[in-house]
């Protein structure tokens, strides 16, 4: 009965919402598709069902051979807000440009054919733009995987945890981390005035367009309502390619963005640091399955980005394993790079650590042997934060017994203590059990000795909390973290 009522409300609400929104500006939604039949129906359904009704959807088929065009036309017959174009295969950049030329809305957004939009995210951003007058809104996105919805990367969550209205790139350079073309709404007059368009070769090309838009916008709205679900596809243009050509394409985009920011030196330095923390590792991690030609490309390209970052923040914020590898790349030490990679140097959690004159040091392959300064092996604060998980839950009468693992990242525990925050429940905390185990990509294991705890919440068996907040202490180190309690 509830499902029937919800369905009836949707049937009634759709024309009513359209009538209520009849005076709102039109948002053009550009959807390029090439052999996207597997997910296109889901994408178009999500666009048609989302809450901002004043839309002009332009679907452009880029020479598909799998029935995508028929799917698009079926949706267009059912909803007059959709227009379908087709062209011989010319690439996603050309398809987007052709669709933009046909779009008629006051605002413009892009949705890829294998992604979806949420119910309320676009409406929230459009409402904000009508109040702020900004040229651009940047919206949070989430990952859409085979196992369900996953949160985005931590830096995307951090950006959108601090929403802003009519801000600027100088005020919020962190906005550059949201670099995909989608999950943005552009004022069309701004798009045209700046002659924004997507390049022919699109590998990492989205970030050039978004960087220009951020730089030149008269007002940027950073929103907090998730608007976009980005499907992680193995065949994605920007993911998975392990070739020297792919390295050069990615770094061409990086160089182009840094050049765009030449007149904003503080922003440029911030963007270089972002690249070294979040983007360059995507290329260097692929060394585990790369060849010498790929490595030669990294020899050429990585040091220039390192040189653009502020040295003090580079040392404090870029993880130790990347600083060590970047040093070897700058020295063009081919043998040392391959030894480092093959010995799991890119996985610091697999290696011991200890206090050295330079600081808390992770003993990565080559430490004390390779020509790398000791400071490069020093762990960042972010690499040593407290972590905790609830591994198992069981009921013993009225009590709830939790198997908890708590540890500091990349740090050997010596004399740890664990404190549990509760809402009045009596708590027993006992140190012991199976330690937390990390497994490397190659299958090796490392046990974090002293990380296991048994936490008993007396009387909580019938009203189990959803999370557990613990404080881990070990000598001078402490940290508080919240762990989800799985349903038993």
pLDDT digit string, tens, across residues 157-177: 999 999 999 999 999 999 999
- For Cα atoms 254, 211, 134, give the angle at the middle one, nearest 5 degrees: 170
DSSP state for residue 378 in the 8-state scheme: B
Is the pLDDT at 398 greater than 80? The verdict is yes
The whole model's pTM is what? 0.90
Share of the chain above pLDDT 90, in %: 85
C-alpha distance across the termini of the chain, in Å: 30
Residues 217 and 136 grouped into a single domain: yes
Residue 427 lies in a domain: yes
Is the pLDDT at 355 greater than 70? The verdict is yes
Contacts of residue 424, Cβ cutoff 8 Å, sequence gap at least 6: none
pLDDT digit string, tens, across residues 288-340: 999 999 999 999 999 999 999 999 999 999 999 999 999 999 999 999 999 99
| Mean pLDDT, rounded, for 446-466 | 88
Question: Is 61 buried (19+), middle (13-18) or exposed (0-12) by CB count in 10 A?
Answer: buried
Indicate the number of domains in the chain: 3
Q: Around 40, how many Cα atoms within 13 Å sit in the side-chain half-sphere?
A: 24
Q: Domain range holding 444?
A: 385-484
* Residue 377 CA, distance from chain mean position: 26
Residue 349 lies in a domain: yes
Give the Cα separation of 307 and 321 in Å (integer): 18
Residues 105 and 163 grouped into a single domain: yes
Residues 315 and 393 grouped into a single domain: no
- Domain C-terminal end among 231, 252, 285: 231
CATH of the domain at 191: 3.90.550.10
Query: How sure is the predictor about 463, in pLDDT bands with cuts at 50, 70 and 90?
Result: confident
Query: How sure is the predictor about 476, in pLDDT bands with cuts at 50, 70 and 90?
Result: confident
Q: What is the pLDDT of residue 237?
A: 43
Residues 258 and 164 grouped into a single domain: no
Residues 23 and 76 grouped into a single domain: yes
| Mean pLDDT, rounded, for 267-292 | 96
Give me 43's structure tokens: 């994408």
Residue 135 lies in a domain: yes
Residues 91 and 191 grouped into a single domain: yes
Is the pLDDT at 412 greater than 50? The verdict is yes
Alpha helical stretches, state H, 150-243: 154-160, 188-193, 206-216
Residue 237 lies in a domain: no
Give me 161's structure tokens: 């945890």
Q: Is 331 in contact with 371 (CB distance < 8 Å)?
A: yes
Virtual torsion, Cα 171, 177, 181, 185, nearest 10 deg: -40
Residues 143 and 264 grouped into a single domain: no
Q: What is the pLDDT of residue 238?
A: 46
Residue 239 lies in a domain: no
Residues 405 and 297 grouped into a single domain: no
Instruction: Using DSSP, state whether 325 is helix, strand or coil.
Output: helix
pLDDT digit string, tens, across residues 208-228: 999 999 999 999 999 999 999
Q: What is the pLDDT of residue 445?
A: 94
CATH of the domain at 477: 2.60.40
Is the pLDDT at 474 greater than 60? The verdict is yes
| Mean pLDDT, rounded, for 131-152 | 94
- Domain C-terminal end among 341, 376, 411: 376
Give me 202's structure tokens: 């699109």
Is the pLDDT at 7 greater than 70? The verdict is no
Q: List C-alpha distances in Å: 225 to 37, 142, 360.
A: 28, 11, 39
Q: What is the pLDDT of residue 5?
A: 57
Residues 92 and 9 grouped into a single domain: yes
Torsions phi, psi for 192 (to 5 deg): -70, -40
Residues 214 and 106 grouped into a single domain: yes
Tokens 């929103």 belong to 223
Q: What is the pLDDT of residue 3?
A: 59
| Mean pLDDT, rounded, for 232-248 | 72
Q: What is the pLDDT of residue 200?
A: 75
Q: What is the pLDDT of residue 57?
A: 99
pLDDT digit string, tens, across residues 172-207: 999 999 999 999 999 999 999 999 998 876 567 799
């Amino acid at each position: 009965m509830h499902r029937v009522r919800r369905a009836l409300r949707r049937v009634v609400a759709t024309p009513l919402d359209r009538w209520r929104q009849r005076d709102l500006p039109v948002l053009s939604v550009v959807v390029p598709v090439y052999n996207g039949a597997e997910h296109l129906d889901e994408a178009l359904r999500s666009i048609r069902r989302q809450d901002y009704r004043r839309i002009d959807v332009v679907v452009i088929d880029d020479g598909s051979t799998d029935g995508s065009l028929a799917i698009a036309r079926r949706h267009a017959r059912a909803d007059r807000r959709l227009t379908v174009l087709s062209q011989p295969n010319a690439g996603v950049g050309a398809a987007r440009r052709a669709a933009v030329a046909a779009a008629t809305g006051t605002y413009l957004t892009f949705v890829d054919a294998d992604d979806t939009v949420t119910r309320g995210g676009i409406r929230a951003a459009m409402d904000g733009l009508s109040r702020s007058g900004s040229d651009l809104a940047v919206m949070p996105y989430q990952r859409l995987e085979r196992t369900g919805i996953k949160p985005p990367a931590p830096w995307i969550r951090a950006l959108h945890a601090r929403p802003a209205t009519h801000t600027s790139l100088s005020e919020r350079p962190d906005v550059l981390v949201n670099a995909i073309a989608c999950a943005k709404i552009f004022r069309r007059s701004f798009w045209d005035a700046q002659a924004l368009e997507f390049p022919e070769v699109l590998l990492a090309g989205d970030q050039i367009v978004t960087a220009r838009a951020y730089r030149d916008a008269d007002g940027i709205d950073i929103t907090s309502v998730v608007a976009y679900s980005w499907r992680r596809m193995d065949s994605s243009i920007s993911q998975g390619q392990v070739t020297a050509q792919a390295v050069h394409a990615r770094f061409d985009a990086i160089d182009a963005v840094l050049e765009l920011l030449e007149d904003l030196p503080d922003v440029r330095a911030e963007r270089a640091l972002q690249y070294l923390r979040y983007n360059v590792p995507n290329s260097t991690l692929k060394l585990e399955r790369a060849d010498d030609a790929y490595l030669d490309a990294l020899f050429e390209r990585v040091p220039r980005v390192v040189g653009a970052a502020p040295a003090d923040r580079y040392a404090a914020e870029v993880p130790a394993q990347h600083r060590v590898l970047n040093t070897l790349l700058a020295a063009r030490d081919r043998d040392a790079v391959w030894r480092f990679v093959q010995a799991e140097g890119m996985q610091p959690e697999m290696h011991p650590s200890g206090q050295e004159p330079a600081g808390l040091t992770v003993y990565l392959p080559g430490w004390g042997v390779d020509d790398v300064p000791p400071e490069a092996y020093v762990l960042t604060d972010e690499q040593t934060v407290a972590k905790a998980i609830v591994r198992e839950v069981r009921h013993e009468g009225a009590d709830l017994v939790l198997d908890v693992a708590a540890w500091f990242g990349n740090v050997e525990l010596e004399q740890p203590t664990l404190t549990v925050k509760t809402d009045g429940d009596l708590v027993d905390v006992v140190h012991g059990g199976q330690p937390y185990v990390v497994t490397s990509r190659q299958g090796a294991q490392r046990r974090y000795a002293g990380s296991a705890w048994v936490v008993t919440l007396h009387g909580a068996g019938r009203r189990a909390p959803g999370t557990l907040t613990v404080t881990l202490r070990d000598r001078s180190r402490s940290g508080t973290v919240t762990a989800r309690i799985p349903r038993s």
